[in-house]
Amino acid sequence: MILKDRFLYFDFEITWKNRHRVREFASREILAYLKSLGKTVGPVNFPIFMQSMVEYYPGRDLLENAYRIMYHHPNPILRWARQYERRFLQSAAKPFSKPRVAKLLKKLLDQKA
């Protein structure tokens, strides 16, 4: 979408979500962004971008929540589904899968704390 002379990004899938789960959706979007970034910049540059994300991202709580929703989701059904995904699906073994990105994010956050 173009607004005046600037590009405006708008994620329509988020428009119809429950407003009480905004933190969860934002955290999922962070993981999706990092996964995509990893594929784009490659394994050599990805750690540099991750370190910068941890260092400068203004919402540390959202970064911590990204790990939490991947590994300790409050909904037991989704928590089980994530465990199943990590254990049995080939997609979770990819270098820039959301579980791997979440683990790396957690490791970097713990090192910074």
- Which tens digits make up the pLDDT trace of 65-93? 999 999 999 999 999 999 998 889 888 88
Q: Global pTM?
A: 0.80
15 is a domain residue: no
5 is a domain residue: no
Contact 53, 38 (CB under 8 A): no
Residue 37 in this model has a pLDDT that exceeds 60: yes
13 is a domain residue: no
Q: What does the DSSP assignment read for 92-107?
A: GGSTT-HHHHHHHHHH
Residue indicated by tokens 């979770």: 92
Query: CB-based contacts of 81: which residues, under 8 Å, 6+ apart?
Result: none
Question: Across the chain, where does the E strand assignment appear?
Answer: 2-3, 6-7
Domain of residue 38 covers: 20-112
39 is a domain residue: yes
101 is a domain residue: yes
Please compute the mean of the pLDDT values over residues 23-44 and round it to a whole number: 90
pLDDT at 19: 74
Domain count, the chain: 1
